[in-house]
Amino acid sequence: MAPAKSVVFDRALHRLVLADGQTRRGFDFDDFLVHVDDLKNMRPTDLKEALRRAAGGSDCVVYVTRDDSIDVEYSDREPISFCFSEGQLTISISHANDGYDDEESASAIFSSVLAPYLKRYRASMENVEMDPNYYHPLVWNIEIWCSPRGRDLADFLQVGEGTLALIEAFGTGELTRETTLDLLRSGNAQVLIGQEEGSWLDVKSAHYNLQSPSGKISIAQAVARFANAEHGGIVVVGMRGKKVPGGEIISGICPVPVDGRTLRSYQTAIEQHLYPPPDYLDIEVVSANGGSLVVLHIPPQPEEHKPFLVHGAIVDGNIEGAFISILRRRGESSIPITAPAVHATLAAGRALLRRGEIPRTSDDARCEPDSR
């Protein structure tokens, strides 16, 4: 026996009838307004058939509201809706942005930005159009096709919300350290899957072992790499990386356990092994996939504070506690700052000390050679 329809169209009432008997009436040439809770367990194939019957060969749209009282005139609508056109049901996303010149350039940017995310959800971008009813700001309508297999309309809405979050984060250019941080803090870590790691982003699937000297040195080195880099960076604990030709991409989310001591453990390890302490270093917990990620944000640091030094080094798998390591991030790999570069920095500092252009400390005095 075929399962009961999760939604049907009643031609006599001109309404969508839900599985629980509630109805949602049509307006403005067969468009409909439903509540976000209506989408749970509503099958895309059932909605597609209901809209086919309602449209009678024309297009129609199902808008979504979160207002408890559903009113087609006054309820606020989500920027994500469902469009039935030419026999196909798509997710329709409305995005306001003046940064694109025309539909061709907007489509190219959106396609590049969204491809890894949509592929993960067995979805694809079908069309991008400028809404002719808006001029400033321009409003873009993005149509997304998504495989209905094993999904309900609530899943479709989630795909649309992730798509919109990613588009808004990118703006008119590449994903940046600031927008990545916004995505993580807003609970949208999943949209980063498929994106590349790079000069300002590093992920780790499990906690650093902060009970061991090697783990403490490793987290200090991870922070130092970005502190010594030009643009700062982000370390995310709880996401997997995967090597691909030409680099490494983020391949998944694996939330990590977090308790009241977690952030303090990270902070203490960094304080013990990294000098000087980076300005405005943030260590925080964000939500993802029903669990938690630890995010370390290292803003760009003043040049006069560099290089940041790590007390301790790992050499051929052995802990060398008396060593000092100096690293920075370049692309997807870390390279030590060279001996000539370190010597040049120290020599310049000593020259300024001798001329009295920077104040001495007791440590500086001990560094000066004995002139007697």
The answer to whether residue 303 scores a pLDDT higher than 80 is yes
The answer to whether residue 352 scores a pLDDT higher than 80 is no
Q: In terms of Cα–Cα distance, which of 3, 1, 4 is closest to 19?
A: 4
The answer to whether residue 13 scores a pLDDT higher than 60 is yes
Instruction: Give 167's pLDDT tier (boundaries 50, 70, 90).
Output: confident
What SS3 state is found at 335? strand
Looking only at the bridges linking them, the beta strands covering 274-275 and 282-288 are: unpaired
| Alpha-carbon distances, residue 223 vs 63, 218, 292 (angstroms) | 45, 9, 20
| Alpha-carbon distances, residue 239 vs 91, 177, 252, 256, 365 (angstroms) | 28, 16, 6, 9, 46
- pLDDT value for 102: 84
**Burial class of residue 275 (count of CB atoms within 10 Å of its CB; 0-12, 13-18, 19+):** middle
Q: Read off the pLDDT of residues 271-282 as tens digits, 9 standing for 90 and up.
A: 999 999 999 999
Q: In terms of Cα–Cα distance, which of 7, 169, 145, 162 is closest to 84?
A: 145
Does the 196-337 domain belong in CATH 3.10.50.40? no
Helix (H) or strand (E) holding 29: none
* pLDDT, average across residues 56-70: 90
Structure tokens at 265: 């453990």
pTM: 0.69
Contact 64, 78 (CB under 8 A): yes
* pLDDT, average across residues 301-323: 78
CA 305, 178, 105 angle in degrees (round to 5)?
130
The answer to whether residue 355 scores a pLDDT higher than 70 is yes
- pLDDT value for 366: 44
The answer to whether residue 1 scores a pLDDT higher than 50 is no
The answer to whether residue 164 scores a pLDDT higher than 80 is yes
- Domain ranges (residues) in the chain: 7-174, 196-337
pLDDT, greater one: 354 or 360: 354
Instruction: Give 368's pLDDT tier (boundaries 50, 70, 90).
Output: very low
- Cα distance between residue 236 and residue 289, in whole Å: 14
pLDDT, greater one: 194 or 28: 194
Instruction: Give 72's pLDDT tier (boundaries 50, 70, 90).
Output: confident
- pLDDT value for 357: 65
- Point out the least confidently predicted range of 26-35, 89-98, 198-207: 26-35
The answer to whether residue 186 scores a pLDDT higher than 90 is no
What SS3 state is found at 191? helix
Structure tokens at 263: 């952030």
Structure tokens at 56: 């009678």
Q: What's the whole-number average pLDDT of the chain?
A: 86
The answer to whether residue 38 scores a pLDDT higher than 60 is yes
- pLDDT value for 320: 65
Q: In terms of Cα–Cα distance, which of 147, 188, 167, 160 is closest to 62?
A: 160
- pLDDT value for 109: 82
Q: Read off the pLDDT of residues 148-159 as tens digits, 9 standing for 90 and up.
A: 999 999 999 999
Structure tokens at 75: 């309820």
- Cα distance between residue 229 and residue 327, in whole Å: 9
- pLDDT value for 315: 65
- pLDDT value for 22: 94
**Burial class of residue 71 (count of CB atoms within 10 Å of its CB; 0-12, 13-18, 19+):** exposed
* pLDDT, average across residues 244-259: 92
- pLDDT value for 199: 83
Instruction: Give 372's pLDDT tier (boundaries 50, 70, 90).
Output: very low
Percent of the chain scoring above 70 in pLDDT: 85
Q: CA 141: distance to chain centroid?
A: 22
What SS3 state is found at 25? strand
pLDDT, greater one: 4 or 112: 4
Instruction: Give 48's pLDDT tier (boundaries 50, 70, 90).
Output: very high
- pLDDT value for 339: 61
- pLDDT value for 367: 44
Structure tokens at 320: 């060398």
Bridge partner residues of 146 (DSSP): 123
pLDDT, greater one: 357 or 335: 357
Looking only at the bridges linking them, the beta strands covering 88-96 and 309-315 are: unpaired
Q: Count CB atoms within 10 A of the CB of residue 313.
A: 18
Across the chain, the runs of DSSP E, i.e. the strands, are 7-10, 15-18, 23-27, 31-35, 60-65, 80-85, 88-96, 123-130, 139-146, 201-204, 233-237, 239-244, 247-253, 274-275, 282-288, 291-298, 309-315, 318-325, 327-330, 333-336
Instruction: Give 103's pLDDT tier (boundaries 50, 70, 90).
Output: confident
Bridge partner residues of 25 (DSSP): 15
